[in-house]
């Protein structure tokens, strides 16, 4: 029983965190880095 | 037995198809240009370098590092929330069924050579390395070490990640002269790591997953509470040890079915002569018999 | 068997449809402007708001070194002081250094770019991206450095990665060529 509650609580927090981060515009930061290459950051140098 | 082989093939097919789906930007392998469209806002569930010419999504570890290395490091609510959600839903099932690099290591392991058994004591200690890498290399170092401009470096991506080397570094260097000419000592170092991991994979099953992968380490944190999990029917189990012998991650499913080292490949489930092991979803009513879930 | 074939075909379809954005270019120099007979022509503003035309910009020097960077690329920013020094040294040889802030697309990023340049002690002209810059100068890897003659033609080799030593070698080689 306890274990299930933990599962649901974590799932809820995770979803909330993800949505909060998305609303804050964090996915733009991800896109910025993922759509271009900083060479030395990738280990090419 | 036939069921067991079908299961293996099914899993390989899923691994392969998912790899193809998430790296479907095939033109990249001709032009040497990576995809830069809106899909890269989203992290794929597995290690998959955004520098791969075919990649359509962002690598979760790369994305995590991206949040931390900016001029103003931000807590990665979006990335961590997404990863935690995946983790609490299925745990390391992702490792077993969706990871391309995991697939590659497994295919290399299929090469018929004598296999290495890592001594138990050493193996147990080395499993903790991946948590250290997650905490220190992925999170702490980029947060703490900043240059005079306030910028930092994705240390895991730069110095360690063999996945990025195989999927991004190598194809890009093959396709693009400019990148070839930019490759010096650092590239050589990363290449050496990649070759070492690939070589080890022939003799040891999934060494990267066991000892190094920071993403696997993160998902492992949710193993014991994930919605999808493994249950042992204690009444049916005759303790024959078949599951433990089959498990290539050195887990004993009868004793610890939701071990942090289990990648939920399901082979133990199909090898059990008494059908005592099952995948279960939290919330679905378990019938009657006593269950062991940790 | 039929099912697997169907799935594979569907995936291939997806793959082809995902090919949209990039144009097919010759495999060599995939991430650099064509080093053969490409002339740049544009109008834009620099970091300080001054209007810049490519004609004015490039005709001012024998060779102009163009360094393409972004605000988030650590190694681009770290090489700024050296680029400034390089610019000062080669000014005597009638070479100029110009930057392009490839992600300078909104006020916040432009301001960041300005403060980074200041902090680095770099005062050379930095251009802001213009409409069509991605077609004229398709850069995917940062920093990318290329060289332009006084006619606005791209010359020499395009260099990927922060390597001031290679910039110098290129500059010297190109200067030697123009001297002939």
Sign of CA dihedral B248, B59, B162, B141: negative
Chain B positions touching C69 (Cβ under 8 A) are: none
Residue C19: the pLDDT is 47
CB-CB: which of B40, B80, B168 is closest to A42? B168
Residue in chain A nearest C78 by alpha carbon: A40
Residue in chain C nearest A43 by alpha carbon: C161
Residue A2: the pLDDT is 80
Q: Identify whether the C-beta of residue B87 lies closer than 8 Å to the C-beta of residue B218.
A: yes
Residue B255 has pLDDT above 60, yes or no: yes
DSSP assigned state of C163: -
User: Is the minimum CB–CB distance between B199 and chain C shorter than 8 Å?
Assistant: no
User: Is the minimum CB–CB distance between C140 and chain A shorter than 8 Å?
Assistant: yes
Residue B151 has pLDDT above 70, yes or no: yes
Cα–Cα distance measured from residue B79 to residue B77, given in angstroms and rounded to the nearest whole number: 6
Cα–Cα distance measured from residue C4 to residue B80, given in angstroms and rounded to the nearest whole number: 34
Q: Enumerate residues 116 to 145 of chain B having a beta carbon within 8 A of any beta carbon in chain A.
A: none
Q: Identify whether the C-beta of residue C150 lies closer than 8 Å to the C-beta of residue C58.
A: yes
Contact A37 C74 (CB under 8 A): no
User: Is the minimum CB–CB distance between C68 and chain A shorter than 8 Å?
Assistant: no
Q: Enumerate residues 2 to 41 of chain A having a beta carbon within 8 A of any beta carbon in chain B.
A: 3-4, 6-7, 10-11, 13-22, 24, 26-37, 39-41
Chain A positions touching C141 (Cβ under 8 A) are: 36-39
Chain C positions touching A32 (Cβ under 8 A) are: 72, 103
Residues 6+ apart with CB under 8 A from B124: none
- Phi and psi torsions of B154, nearest 5°: -75, 90
Residue C20: the pLDDT is 40
Cα–Cα distance measured from residue B143 to residue B69, given in angstroms and rounded to the nearest whole number: 7
Chain C positions touching A36 (Cβ under 8 A) are: 70, 140-142
Cα–Cα distance measured from residue B242 to residue B272, given in angstroms and rounded to the nearest whole number: 6
Q: Which has more pLDDT, A3 or C172? A: C172
Using alpha carbons, select from B27, B35, B32 the residue that is nearest to residue C29. B32
User: Is the minimum CB–CB distance between A32 and chain C shorter than 8 Å?
Assistant: yes
Using alpha carbons, select from B157, B154, B155, B177 the residue that is nearest to residue B165. B157
Q: Identify whether the C-beta of residue C125 lies closer than 8 Å to the C-beta of residue C98.
A: yes
Q: Which two tokens stand for residue C141?
A: 């890897």
Lowest model confidence (mean pLDDT) among B60-74, B170-184, B224-238, C116-130: B60-74
Residue owning tokens 């301001």: C111
Residue in chain A nearest B183 by alpha carbon: A45
Using alpha carbons, select from B22, B52, B69 the residue that is nearest to residue B162. B52
Provide the strand spans (E) within B195-275.
228-233
Residue C5: the pLDDT is 67
User: Is the minimum CB–CB distance between A34 and chain C shorter than 8 Å?
Assistant: no
Chain C positions touching A40 (Cβ under 8 A) are: 74-75, 161-162
Question: Mean pLDDT, to the nearest integer, of B195-215?
Answer: 98
Q: Cis bond leading into B143, ω under 30°?
A: no
Residue-level length of chain C: 180
Sign of CA dihedral C155, C158, C163, C169: negative
Residue C48 burial by CB count (10 A; 0-12/13-18/19+): exposed, middle or buried? exposed
Contact B32 C27 (CB under 8 A): yes
Distance from B45 to chain C by nearest Cα, in Å? 18
CB-CB: which of B40, B159, B168 is closest to A35? B40
Global confidence as pTM: 0.91
Question: Mean pLDDT, to the nearest integer, of B243-266?
Answer: 97
Residue C31: the pLDDT is 53
Cα–Cα distance measured from residue C5 to residue A22, given in angstroms and rounded to the nearest whole number: 37
Distance from B119 to chain A by nearest Cα, in Å? 32
Lowest model confidence (mean pLDDT) among B7-16, B27-36, C22-31, C122-131: C22-31
Chain B positions touching A40 (Cβ under 8 A) are: 153, 158, 186
Residue B286: the pLDDT is 52
User: Is the minimum CB–CB distance between B228 and chain A shorter than 8 Å?
Assistant: no
Residue C179: the pLDDT is 80
pLDDT band, very low/low/confident/very high, at B148 (cuts 50, 70, 90):
very high
Q: Residue ranges of the domains in chain A? A: 2-42
ipTM of the complex: 0.96
User: Is the minimum CB–CB distance between B27 and chain C shorter than 8 Å?
Assistant: yes
Q: What is the mean pLDDT of chain B?
A: 94
> Read out DSSP for C130-161?
-TTHHHHS---EESEEEEEETTSBEEEEEEES
Task: Provide the percentage of residues in chain B whose pLDDT is more than 90.
Answer: 92
- Domains of chain C in start order, with CATH, are 39-179 (3.40.30.10)
User: Is the minimum CB–CB distance between B36 and chain C shorter than 8 Å?
Assistant: yes
Task: Please give the radius of gyration of chain B, using alpha carbons only, rounded to the nearest integer.
Answer: 20
- Which subunits sit against B, judged by 3+ Cβ pairs under 8 A? A, C
For chain C, 180 residues long, the average pLDDT of each consecutive 10-residue run is: 66 54 38 64 96 96 96 95 97 96 95 96 97 93 96 94 96 89
DSSP assigned state of B43: B
Cα–Cα distance measured from residue C121 to residue B82, given in angstroms and rounded to the nearest whole number: 40
Residue B261 has pLDDT above 60, yes or no: yes
Q: How many CB atoms lie within 10 A of CB C35?
A: 17
> Read out DSSP for B120-174?
HHHHHHHTTHHHHIIIIIIIIHHHH---TTS----HIIIII-HHHIIIIIHHHHH
- Domains of chain B in start order, with CATH, are 2-220 (no CATH), 227-292 (3.30.70)
**Element of type H or E holding A37:** strand A37-38
B86-114 in b/e form (b: 16+ CB < 10 A) is bbbbbbbbbbbbbbbbbbbbbebbeeeee
């Amino acid at each position: 029983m306890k274990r299930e509650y933990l599962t649901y609580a974590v799932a809820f927090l995770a979803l909330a965190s993800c949505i909060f981060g998305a609303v804050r515009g964090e996915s733009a930061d991800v896109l910025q880095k993922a759509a271009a290459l900083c060479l030395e950051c990738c280990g090419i140098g | 037995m036939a069921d067991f082989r079908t299961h293996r093939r099914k899993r390989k097919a899923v691994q392969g198809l998912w790899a193809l789906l998430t790296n479907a930007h095939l033109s990249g392998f001709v032009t040497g240009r990576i995809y830069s469209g809106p899909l890269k806002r989203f992290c794929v569930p597995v290690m998959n370098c955004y520098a791969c010419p075919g990649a359509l999504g962002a690598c979760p570890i790369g994305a995590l590092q991206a949040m931390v290395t900016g001029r103003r490091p931000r807590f990665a609510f979006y990335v961590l929330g997404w990863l935690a959600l995946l983790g609490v839903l299925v745990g390391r099932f992702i490792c077993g069924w969706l990871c391309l690099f995991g697939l590659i290591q497994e295919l290399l392991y299929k090469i018929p050579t004598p296999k290495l058994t890592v001594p138990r004591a050493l193996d147990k200690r080395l499993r903790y390395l991946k948590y250290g890498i997650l905490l220190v290399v992925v999170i702490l170092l980029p947060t703490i070490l900043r240059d005079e401009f306030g910028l930092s470096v994705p240390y895991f991506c730069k110095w360690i990640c063999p996945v990025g080397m195989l999927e991004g570094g190598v194809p890009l260097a093959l396709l693009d002269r400019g990148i070839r000419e930019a490759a010096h000592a650092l590239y050589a170092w990363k290449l050496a790591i990649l070759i070492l991991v690939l070589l080890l994979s022939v003799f040891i099953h999934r060494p990267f997953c066991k000892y190094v992968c920071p993403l696997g380490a993160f998902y492992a944190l949710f193993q014991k509470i994930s919605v999808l999990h493994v249950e042992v029917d204690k009444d049916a189990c005759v303790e024959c040890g078949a599951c433990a012998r089959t498990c290539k991650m050195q887990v004993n499913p009868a004793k610890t079915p939701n071990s942090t080292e289990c990648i939920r490949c399901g082979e133990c489930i199909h090898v059990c002569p008494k059908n005592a092991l099952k995948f279960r979803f939290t919330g679905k009513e378990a019938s009657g018999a006593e269950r062991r879930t940790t | 068997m039929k099912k697997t074939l169907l799935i594979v075909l569907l995936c291939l379809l997806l793959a082809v449809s995902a090919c949209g954005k990039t144009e097919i270019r010759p495999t060599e120099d995939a991430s650099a402007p064509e080093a053969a007979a490409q002339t740049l022509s544009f109008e834009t503003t620099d970091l300080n708001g001054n209007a810049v035309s490519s004609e004015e910009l490039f005709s001012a020097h024998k060779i102009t070194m163009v360094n393409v960077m972004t605000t988030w690329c650590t190694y681009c920013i770290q090489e700024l002081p050296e680029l400034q020094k390089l610019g000062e040294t080669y000014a005597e040889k009638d070479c100029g250094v110009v930057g392009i802030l490839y992600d300078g697309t909104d006020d916040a990023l432009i301001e960041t770019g300005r403060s980074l340049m200041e902090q680095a002690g770099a005062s050379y002209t930095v251009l802001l991206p213009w409409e069509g810059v991605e077609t004229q100068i398709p850069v995917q890897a940062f920093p990318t450095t290329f060289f332009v003659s006084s006619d606005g033609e791209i010359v020499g080799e395009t260099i990927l990665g922060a390597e001031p030593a290679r910039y110098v070698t290129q500059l010297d080689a190109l200067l030697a060529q123009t001297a002939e």
